[in-house]
A and B are shown apart, each in its own frame.
Chain A
Amino acid sequence: MGRFVIGALAVLAVLAAIPLWVTNEYFYFAAYVVLQFIVLATAWNILGGFAGYVNFGSAAFFAIGAYTAVALFKAVNLPLPLQILAGAAVSGLLGLGVGLLTLRLRGIFFSIATIAVAIILETFIINWSYVGGAKGLPILRPTDAPLHFQSYLQWLFFVMGVVAVIAVACARYVQTSWLGRGLRAIRDNESAAECSGVPTLQLKLAAATLSGALMGAAGAPFAQYLSFIEPVSAFSLTYAVNALAMPIIGGMAHWIGPVIGAILLGTVQQIVTVTISSELNVLVVGVLLVVFVVAAPEGILGLVAKLRRRVGSTK
């Protein structure tokens, strides 16, 4: 077994064991959000960081995952793991559709198109009364949790932890395999890649589908987590900004970058929300995004690498 597999299993074991020590429910409420952002940031990075296509519509994938889960939960009372699979499947299909847009659109045009997709889908959901429309829909969350978990929130926390580990494993696979090499070739020069025989369209479609599916998986438990769902918060711009800011701040070149960015930014936001205000916490994200893009384009990973080189050269 490789180091990564052992590490992933260790993380899962720790996540499963935490409820044995921590009983404060707020911890799970906050930690769930951080885990959810790890999934979103990692998913964004597969298309944005590796292939260079900036997706502004992350919130749409997240919300479609959430609404798929809600619709199925309301219709047939589907259990949570299946809700997540269904959410991932539908958002993956949406990702495939958005991937087809990359056929003709590059750079800013692709980004604008993803905003358009997000707003159009939001309008559809607002007008779809089965899932509550603009008013929203309260969800009666199950009271007892499976396994040794003492509350349903703890169970949600663990499930999101599993999704996060899967997402990171996917990103790592993409990065280290031929997929990642192809995507990097696309990012650096798409025409040159195409000419050298890189199957650019297939690679872009694969990346967009995987990215969308993971975002959908991140969103699927959203309604269970809040016991409520409504379009404005599910499609919130905050998700789009965070999904893009976290990889850029962490570093887009390596799968660990989005994880670092998500843990750091997610934790800071939770602290700022509690101690100061929730408006200010989104402002922090925006300011950090601009500061990093301007001053440290390679993110925290780039800063660390620079520091290492400096230490190495003075020795």
Chain B
Amino acid sequence: MDLELLYEAIISGILLGCFYAAVSLGLSLAFGLLDVPHIAHPSFLVLGAFATYMLGLQGVDPLLAGLLMMPVFFVFGLAVYQFYYSTFEKRGTDTGLRGIAFFFGVAFIVEVGLIVAFGVDQRLVEAPYIGTSTRFGEMRIPNRMLVAFGVAVLITTVLTIYLAKTFTGRAIKAVAQDEGALRLMGADPVRIKRFAFAIATATCALAGALLIIVGPVDPGLGRLYIGRTFCVVVLAGLGSMSGTVVAGLILGIAESIVLASVGAAWAPAVAFGILLVVLGVRPAGLFGR
């Protein structure tokens, strides 16, 4: 593989990596900080992508559609966590196995529900920045990747600042560190976790819009993103926002190098391969708490 190709693969890997970080942020919150075994996260992303597609049919710009869907997803997240809490965490009986099975079932229902509603075909959206590209010296970069990159950097920054600087953001981090202590301080950990899970779900709306901007989406795509999102979150170390970006970049660059050198057929295995290695060698990830 010559140097020119490698160079291009790294550039597009960086763009892709920021996008992967953005789609993993919600999971980093829900799974990394709240310990919810949220296997349905990628399905919520695909749901966001299809919501964007539906609004796109009415002529709404995909990014605007993603923003518009955020409050809806926020409420949806509140409801999902409330349900999960009252049926599993509150009872405290065997949350592990049944909680996992529950989210697996939800993911499956979303996937098949979308197949029943839309069929198995791939869906696309239209926007001025999709299908065009910009020249940087010798290299042409598709504008859709640039837009995804920009938005990804924006939401990652906003969420990181939110968690570090605001009162609620710090409360979310506190709940992850020591729930019992929070309760002793007179705060309600369940309320904070519900709020955090709702934020995590709301990011799925915008990240889902990015998903359909970056490429065509079909209902089965969620399964591939189980690997990518969990790879990023585990590699980052649970709940680390800056780690999420680094891990996203590692995955993005690795995937685009494999894509350029070995071929597209092997690309899906990259994320899962990295995930397995990380789980086997260092389950705490790069920046584990």
What is A's interface to B at a CB cutoff of 8 Å? 48, 52, 54, 56, 101, 104-105, 107-109, 111-113, 115-117, 119-120, 123-124, 126-127, 134, 237, 241, 244-245, 248, 279-280, 282-283, 285-287, 289-290, 293-294, 297
- Are A54 and B97 within 8 A (Cβ)? yes
Q: Is B123 an interface residue (CB 8 A)?
A: no
Shortest Cβ distance from B220 into A: residue: A237
- Are B108 and A282 within 8 A (Cβ)? yes
Q: Give chain B residues whose Cβ lies under 8 Å from the Cβ of A112.
A: 39, 226, 230, 234, 275, 279
- Are B283 and A105 within 8 A (Cβ)? yes
Q: Is B265 an interface residue (CB 8 A)?
A: yes
Q: Is B102 an interface residue (CB 8 A)?
A: yes
Q: How far is the CB of B17 from chain A (nearest CB, A)?
A: 19
- Are B272 and A286 within 8 A (Cβ)? no
Decide if the interface of chain A is mainly helix, strand, loop or mixed: helix
Q: Give chain B residues whose Cβ lies under 8 Å from the Cβ of A52.
A: 96-97
Given contacts A112-B226, A286-B112, is CB(A297)–CB(B94) below 8 Å?
yes
Q: How far is the CB of B254 from chain A (nearest CB, A)?
A: 14
Q: Give chain A residues whose Cβ lies under 8 Å from the Cβ of B100.
A: 54, 107-108, 111
- Could you give 8 example pairs across A and B, Cβ below 8 Å? A54-B97, A54-B101, A116-B272, A123-B265, A279-B112, A279-B116, A283-B112, A286-B112
Instruction: Give chain B interface residues in 106-134, CB to chain A under 8 Å.
Output: 106, 108-109, 111-113, 115-116
Q: How far is the CB of A207 from chain B (nearest CB, A)?
A: 15
Given contacts A112-B275, A293-B102, is CB(A123)–CB(B230) below 8 Å?
no
- Are A290 and B105 within 8 A (Cβ)? yes
Shortest Cβ distance from A294 into B: residue: B87
Shortest Cβ distance from A106 into B: residue: B96
Contact of B279 among A48, A113, A290 (CB under 8 A): A113
Q: Is B59 an interface residue (CB 8 A)?
A: no
Q: Give chain A residues whose Cβ lies under 8 Å from the Cβ of B265.
A: 123, 126-127, 134
Number of residue pairs spanning A and B whose beta carbons lie under 8 angstroms apart: 115
User: Lowest 5 A-B CB distances belong to which pairs?
Assistant: A116-B272, A286-B108, A123-B269, A290-B105, A289-B105
Q: Give chain B residues whose Cβ lies under 8 Å from the Cβ of A56.
A: 104
Contact of A116 among B102, B109, B275 (CB under 8 A): B275
Q: How far is the CB of B92 from chain A (nearest CB, A)?
A: 12
Q: Give chain A residues whose Cβ lies under 8 Å from the Cβ of B266.
A: 123, 127
Q: Give chain B residues whose Cβ lies under 8 Å from the Cβ of A120.
A: 269, 272-273, 276
Instruction: Give chain B interface residues in 266-280, CB to chain A under 8 Å.
Output: 266, 268-269, 272-273, 275-276, 279-280
Q: Is B140 an interface residue (CB 8 A)?
A: no
Q: Give chain A residues whose Cβ lies under 8 Å from the Cβ of B96.
A: 52, 54, 107-108
Once the chains are docked, how many angstroms separate the CA of A280 from the CA of B117?
Answer: 11
Q: Give chain B residues whose Cβ lies under 8 Å from the Cβ of A111.
A: 37, 39, 100
Q: How far is the CB of B240 from chain A (nearest CB, A)?
A: 17
- Are A119 and B272 within 8 A (Cβ)? yes
Contact of A241 among B94, B97, B108 (CB under 8 A): B108
- Are A293 and B98 within 8 A (Cβ)? yes
- Are A105 and B97 within 8 A (Cβ)? no
- Are A289 and B268 within 8 A (Cβ)? no
Q: How far is the CB of B238 from chain A (nearest CB, A)?
A: 10
Q: Give chain A residues whose Cβ lies under 8 Å from the Cβ of B275.
A: 112-113, 116
